[in-house]
Each structure stands twice: as C-alpha cells, then as structure tokens.
Chains A and B, each alone.
Chain A
C-alpha cells in the first residue's frame, strides 16, 4: 500500500510538471536552465513562447546589448506549460533541441518587436529547481 501510494504521488507530481503534450523525446539530451518568461512569440503552427535564459547556453540565441556588455539568451519554446506563462516569471526549464520540430514550427511571419531566435522543446518547467524536474522524471 505504501509502495502504491509512493508510486501514485510520483506519477501525479510528474504529470503536473510535465509539458503540455506529455511526450518527452530525446530525454538523454535534455538540459535544465533558469529562465524568464517574456511573452508569447510569433504565430506558428503551434503555440510558441519567448523566454530569456538567465544563464548562458548555446541552445539559445545570444544577443549582445548595444549599451553594455550584457549578453541575453533568447529562445522560442514549444509546449511551455501555462503555469509559467506570466510576464517576468522566473522558472527552471528542462528542454531539448529538436531539428524536426524547429523545421516544422519555425515562424514564417512575425511581429517586428521580436527577432529570429532558436526554437526549443520544453520537457518540463517549474518554479522550484532543476532538481525537482529531474526527480519528477
């Protein structure tokens, strides 16, 4: 009974933290980084949201500030859960790059407040920590 309860709790927790479609591909290649929600991104075949990573990553588009040495790292995310889609919300994002997905959903049209950024796929997002995401797996 105790074992069953533990399994059930783990299952529920995992479902709550997973991304919208629940499917997790290439889990071996996932990365987890701290990020900040910016806004919904350009129209595409699937909802895309612009996030800014709060630490460097090659999987994001690096944009150097014109007025300082700051470099910001942006990415458009597929399957980002609604729980973190609020302006300036900081969270931990587990994600992976998927060339097929990028090719499929790269926006063809866009508001000119954005620029082209790399497209990634969300594997999980939480406000707690990357460890939480790992445990949830």
Chain B
C-alpha cells in the first residue's frame, strides 16, 4: 500500500512536471482557460544584456536551459530543455519564474509580464488593494485601469484572479504578451517605393507615403486597365479582381500574355493592385482595385507587335462602357524612336481622356521612357499633352540617368535601374512562366515601375471621390507632389515626387453635416458635397433624446438635451465609407449670452459703472419669445427680443433674468453684471451693512490727483447729503486713518438705505461712484 502511495505521488510529480496544468485568467468578464507551460517560462527583464546571467542568478542548471531570449522590454523568455517542476527551483526562482500559458492546442506561448491591471469602480480603494496584495502601483493608464507590479512575479496570475473575484473592482487582468499574428506580405519590407526606411541602400522617406493613404482607402473597385504585354492569373489577384481583358489585333486572347516569358504587364499589375495581408509577396498600392489586362505589345499569333490602328482600337476598347470601362489607363510602354508619333493612337488616347468614365474622362498615366541615355525628350505616347507623364528617381531621391524628361513631365516616383537590373519588388508570372522561376521578381525598374505607382494612387483618389474629372485628378496629383529639383515645375522631375497621402486627401470630398443647431420639434440634416451614387446612413447617439430617419436625415425630438447625429457616407457598396458627426441641442431652448460681443461667463469681471453693456441671447433654433427682468440691483435694463442693454451708475452687482420659450418649452436663465470704479484709485467700502462706522479704504493715498474730490452720503429719501467729506482736507492734514482710510461715523443716523457718492476731482470727466449702503 505504502509502495502504491509512493508510486502515485511519483506519478503526480511527473505529471506536474511534464503535463500542462490547466487554469484560467480573466479578460474583463471573460474567463479564458489556459494551460500552464513550465518548459517555456518568463522572468522579469532587469536590463542586462548578459541574458544567460539570469539563469545563474536563479540557480538554474545551465544544462537545463536551452535558450534565454529577450522578447520584450519587460520580460526574458527562458526555454528549458524539458518541462521542469517548480518544486526543483530555488526559492528565488520559485518567486521569479512565471510559466507561460497556451490556449488549447495552439503552440504560441502567452507570457505574463509580472504586472496586472485593475479597472476600478467608484468604490474601489486602490491603495487598500495594493497594500493587501503587496502590489506596487506603477501608474493609472490613460484609458482607465491602474497598472500594478506584483511583488512575486510567479504569483501574477493568482493575484489578478483573486482581486478580480474577491475585491470590489470592475475587473482585474494580468498584463499579457504574445506574438501578434501578422497577416503580412513578406516582401513588403523591401518595397522601398511604398515605404522607404533606408532599406536597399535608399534614403528614408524617399517614398510615396502609401501607408498613410491606405488608412483612408485601398482603391475600392476602381477599374485600372493595364496596357502592356498581358496579365494572367496570379495569387495576388485571385480574389476576383482580374477582369476580362482584351488583346489587340485579330485574335482576342483576353489580354493574356502572348508568350510564356513575357511578364512586364504582370509586374506593373503587382505594383498597382497586389492583395494586402494575404501572407504572400508584396503589397499593391490599390489592393481593392480591379485590374483589366489589355495586351497591346505582343501579338499572340506572330509574337510581334501591333500596328498603330490595332493599338488604338484596343485603347478604345479599354475605356468603352461595353468594353473595359476603365477609369484609369496605366501605360508602361512607348516607342523608343525619337520623334515618333502615331495619329491613330493619339486620337484614341484623347478620346479616352475626354470621353471615358461617361464624360468625366479616363485618367491616362504614362512612363516617360528610358531613353535619356540615347536622346533628350519624352517618348511617344507619353509626350502627348494633358496626360500624366511619370519619370524615375532612385531610392535616394536622385533622377535616374535613363529617365526621359522634357516639358511634358508631371511626376516622378522611386524605382530601380533598367534592363531588369533594378531592385523593385513586384509580381512575376506564376511558377515557371515570366522572367523568374518563382512568382515574384526583385529586379524590376525603369520608368515602367514608376508609372504604375501613379496609376495606383489615381485609383485611390477616385475611390474616395469618383466624381473627380480626369483634369481634377491630374491637377491634384501635380499640386500635391513633393517638389524636387529646382523650385516648382522643371523638365526633369516635373512637379515632383508622387505623394499618395496628400493626393488622396486632396481628392477626398469636403463632407460635412449641415442642418439646424437645435431641434424642436424636428429638423432635417444633409451631408454636403456627397459624390453622386453615394448612400448616406443616419443614426443618433441617444434615441431617448433624438431619433433620426436613417435614410432621409429627418430628426425628431424625443427628449431634451444634447444628441450627436452620425452620417456615414458610403460608395462602392460600402467599400469606401466616411463618417461624420454633429452634436445638436434638442428640445427646450438652451441659451447663452454675449456681453458686448464676448461670451458671457459667470467669471467675467465687473464692468465700469455708467457704461452701457450690450447683451445678446445666443440661442439655437427658432425661439418664440423672450422676457427680460432686472431681478436685483440698480440700473436701466432695455430689451428687444434677444437683444438687451444695461447700464448701472452704482458699484454693485445686478441680476438680470431672461425667460426664453419655444414650442418645446421654456427656460429661465440669466446673468449677473457687476460694476466697479474704473477711474480713480481703487477703494473698498466696508462694512456693508454698517452700524456705527463706514470705512472707505484707498489703495493708494500718495497723490491727491488719484483721490476723489468729495465723499457724500445720502439717505435714499433725500437729495441732501447727510455727510460730506472733502478729501483734500484730509490729504492736506495727513489724517487718513492708518494712512489710507476715512472713517465715517454713522451711529447717529437713522437706520435705512443710504447711498455713498464718491465724486471725482473737479474738471475730470470721470463719473461718480455710487454705492448703496444699508445701516442697521
């Protein structure tokens, strides 16, 4: 029996050491079951670069430890050769070592950092909890919870769970670290033209700012025709975005490549529209755009080129509404012969530019050519007027030696060298077809690789504003380019380097909600500058205050208060969507005031006595009536609708009430206007109410010129002063009490309301201060 018990204990120990131990952690209110893993563990990172030293510090046998990895600035990861039992750890190791966790059979370890977060409620006493569980408060996080360090990292999970389950908190969770899933495109880091970090010998920042533009759009359903040597199926556009195409000449093979080793069109297509986050290859500039292959370069029958008429016909097909119906024509081809021109091609392109897109014009983008090594000028057809001509710069921002240039230039974009000795990463024909044995090339370049970048950005622009005309797209691309070379336009760089983000921002329509500021009982909202074909969906943040028809924008009052309405403008069946909000006042009047044109606030300081104050009610929406009343204090109040005027010759505060009404109800509000002496040295009258004496204390008695002439005290029922003081007499005698105070004896006067008049020096245009005094 004893032997059996020993065996059982031994078995349990083995199990503990080798098998996963099941437990859980809390993620707000969700209990997540995990298995603890004592083969891969973490310990707090202590800032040493000598990672292995942690093992000796914890008393671990070096032979047990496979690897120590600094995985985060808070933790080191330790991989043991096999699962270990905490029972075998030293005391310090038992405190410091935190087992990793895993969910189900998923192998990716989840690490605890030794810190926990606590989301408090209104009763939470964080100091009490910190003390009870021996936690160190690190900070209160911006988004609400407290971050605390656990004194024994190995106890992180149990401490977080205990606090979550036993203490008066909203929730408590351990701070976790695990590898995030990157649905990325493995070659993206080498696509310097999209984001230049200095890779491949480039200069950081010499790129087209594609990432910033993608935060706005990815080119929803814009149709980009690629006039080239053909495009066929590829993993990077296997999601239905490769549309039926066209081949020039008599044998229409749908725009597919004519020979197995042509891949230029595919390389251009990758730059324009490779899918994002598919764990494959590269990122395209407009990954949601449609790609339309138009083979105008190699005849599938002969392997030769096409005539001008054949090419012109293919261009016509590309933009015809019953053909390619393309929004953009990307052209990375040209005639290398200096002075060459073809009238048929020219006419076809002009027709596309003016008549494509139902009259808004298709956007034509051309590579300027690589002929600067042989002759000066831009190649045909890039040298036609009013299209977009794109040259080539290096990843360091210099013009490429080969880049054709001239007055037709518009933009430049980063690219590689010519003759397939470049370094632009893009797509290659699948498998053995194309230039490479794989599906991607790393040697693309020339103006061929620059021009599709502009075509891709044009797709992004049209996806945020399909109403733009061809001219608007072209102009905005020019205006938003990053100037290079000599200031402004030049024949080498055109208007400068393509800037995708700036171009998209300039294309985005200025959408905003217009409509009433106050709803009573209803109002209609509209979104301004909506492109045709867009749909608008309306919603209200608080339907107990305001409801709004989701399609018409008609809002109806339900209660009183503020409500935020949201309009979501969508086009391309929701692929492009922009939301905007407007906060409105709902129900009874919600008014505020301006005094002399400035917003009134209770903290506004007193104004000079005797000066007219112009008061205006600032209300929202139609208000039916206003009633103005002087509630307390002296002064003259005038009013006319929302406009009032007020003047007071006494130094005091006056309360003015305004009752405003609309069909939803009435609101009674008001403002207080206080007056002060603005002219002489400051003085203070006290006490008020007074009994035996009234003290008038001056801030400064050095100069007679700053002091009043006389002080008179009137009973409210008399125009004859009961007391008169000549200041000059006191000044001359130097008999100010305490050097700055005049004391008026009033214990002999009848009780009641009096007015103290403080008269300015004779000849002065200053006014008399009048202060109401109560004797009691």
Contact = CB atoms under 8 A, between A and B. Distances in A.
A109 to B, nearest CB: 5
A129 interface: no
Q: Which of B201, B299, B337 has the most chain A CB atoms closer than 10 A to its own CB?
A: B337
Nearest to A47: B303
Nearest to B394: A66
A136 to B, nearest CB: 26
Contacts of A116: 336, 371, 373-374
Contacts of B229: 43, 111
B291 interface: no
A108 B305 contact: yes
Interface in A112-135: 112-117
B336 A39 contact: no
B348 to A, nearest CB: 15
Nearest to A115: B370
B373 A63 contact: yes
29 contacts: A39-B261, A39-B420, A39-B435, A43-B303, A44-B304, A44-B305, A66-B417, A67-B201, A85-B261, A107-B336, A110-B334, A110-B336, A111-B229, A112-B447, A112-B451, A113-B267, A113-B332, A113-B370, A113-B418, A113-B419, A113-B420, A113-B448, A113-B449, A115-B370, A115-B418, A115-B419, A116-B371, A116-B374, A117-B419
Nearest to B396: A67
A31 interface: no
A72 to B, nearest CB: 7
B644 to A, nearest CB: 74
A135 B444 CA distance: 38
A38 interface: yes
A88 to B, nearest CB: 9
Nearest to A50: B419
* Secondary structure of the B contact surface, majority rule: loop
Interface in A44-99: 44-47, 50, 52, 63-67, 72, 74, 85, 87
Contacts of A72: 419, 421
Interface of A: 38-40, 42-47, 50, 52, 63-67, 72, 74, 85, 87, 107-117
B38 interface: no
Contacts of A50: 419-420
B370 A114 contact: yes
A112 B369 contact: yes
B335 interface: yes
Contacts of A107: 305, 336
Interface string B242-285: 00000000000000000101111001000000000000000000
Contacts of A47: 303
Q: Which of B267, B303, B401, B437 has the most chain A CB atoms closer than 10 A to its own CB?
A: B303
B445 A113 contact: yes
A104 to B, nearest CB: 12
A112 B448 contact: yes
Contacts of B267: 113
B147 interface: no
Contacts of B419: 38, 50, 52, 63, 72, 74, 113-115, 117
Interface in B43-75: none
B190 interface: no
Interface string B307-333: 000000000000000000000000011
A72 B374 CA distance: 15
B420 A111 contact: no
A44 B394 CA distance: 30
Given A52-B419, A114-B370, 10 more contacts: A43-B304, A52-B421, A64-B401, A66-B401, A87-B437, A112-B368, A113-B370, A113-B446, A115-B336, A117-B419
A111 B297 contact: yes
Contact of B297 (A38, A43, A115): A43
B340 interface: yes
A42 B306 CA distance: 12
Nearest to A51: B419
B298 to A, nearest CB: 5
Q: List 3 A-B pairs, minimum CB-CB distance, nearest first.
A: A112-B367, A43-B305, A113-B448
Nearest to B401: A66
A112 B335 contact: no
A44 B229 CA distance: 13
A7 B446 CA distance: 49
A111 B332 contact: yes
B436 A87 contact: yes
A83 to B, nearest CB: 14
B262 to A, nearest CB: 7
B262 A40 contact: yes
Q: Which of B201, B373, B398 has the most chain A CB atoms closer than 10 A to its own CB?
A: B373
Q: Which of A46, A47, A74, A108 has the most chain B CB atoms closer than 10 A to its own CB?
A: A108
Interface in B376-395: 379, 394
B769 interface: no
Contact of B259 (A40, A52, A63, A115): A40
Contacts of B337: 108
Contacts of B421: 38, 52, 72
B311 to A, nearest CB: 8
A64 B419 CA distance: 12
A43 B298 contact: yes
A18 B306 CA distance: 30
Contacts of A115: 336, 370-371, 373-374, 402, 418-419, 446
A38 B417 CA distance: 13
Nearest to B400: A66
Contacts of B340: 108
A79 B333 CA distance: 24
A40 B230 CA distance: 14
A112 B304 contact: no
A46 B305 CA distance: 10
B499 interface: no
B387 to A, nearest CB: 14
B483 interface: no
Given A38-B420, A43-B297, A87-B435, A113 B336 contact: no
B590 interface: no
A66 B416 CA distance: 11
Interface string B393-433: 01000101110000000000000011111100000000000
A47 B229 CA distance: 14
Q: Which of A38, A110, A111 has the most chain B CB atoms closer than 10 A to its own CB?
A: A111
B301 to A, nearest CB: 12
A114 to B, nearest CB: 6
B444 A109 contact: no
B333 A111 contact: yes
A121 B267 CA distance: 28
Nearest to B368: A112
B432 to A, nearest CB: 9
A52 B419 CA distance: 9
Given A66-B394, A66-B398, A109 B297 contact: yes
Given A40-B262, A74-B419, A112 B370 contact: yes
Given A43-B229, A108-B340, A114 B305 contact: no
B115 interface: no
A67 B397 CA distance: 12
B470 interface: no
A90 B332 CA distance: 28
A35 to B, nearest CB: 13
Contacts of B35: none
B335 A109 contact: yes
Contacts of A52: 419, 421
Contacts of A38: 419-421
B335 A111 contact: no
Contacts of A42: 305, 336
Contact of B304 (A40, A45, A65, A113): A45
Nearest to A49: B261
B228 interface: yes
A21 to B, nearest CB: 15
B722 to A, nearest CB: 101
Q: Which of B263, B417, B419 has the most chain A CB atoms closer than 10 A to its own CB?
A: B419
A44 to B, nearest CB: 6
